[in-house]
Amino acid sequence: MPRLSARTIVALSLTTMALMLLPLHGHAQQPLNKVGSCPSGYHTSGNYCTPSSASTKPAIAKVGACPSGYHTSGNYCLASSTSAKPAVVKSGSCPSGYHTSGAYCLRN
């Protein structure tokens, strides 16, 4: 197996970290695990709900009440606009740059 240079390892690490954070920062709508019917603007694709268009509003799994700027759409919380603040289900403390909104972390 060829050895990778330190520069290559750093570049690969940074790329991996950026890809991991993409859903957290809401740059692109991601497929959702399908739980019942898909939210408005999404369609079924296998066991997932996928965005129907590039202008589809963000959606997240519903855990209790939806966070500020989101409303209930079936088993999901759907953003009220395409410019809604990104939200993730809270697990422990919210990450830097986010605050608690019910059972979610909402970007400041």
* Global pTM value: 0.69
Distance (Å, whole) CA 32 – CA 49: 5
pLDDT for 15 equals: 38
Domain boundaries, the chain: 23-107
The pLDDT tens digits for 28-56 are 678 999 999 999 999 999 999 999 998 89
DSSP letter string over 3-24? PPPHHHHHHHHHHHHHHHHHHH
The pLDDT tens digits for 90-105 are 999 999 999 999 999 9
Contact by Cβ (8 Å): 98, 91: no
The pLDDT mean for the chain works out to: 81
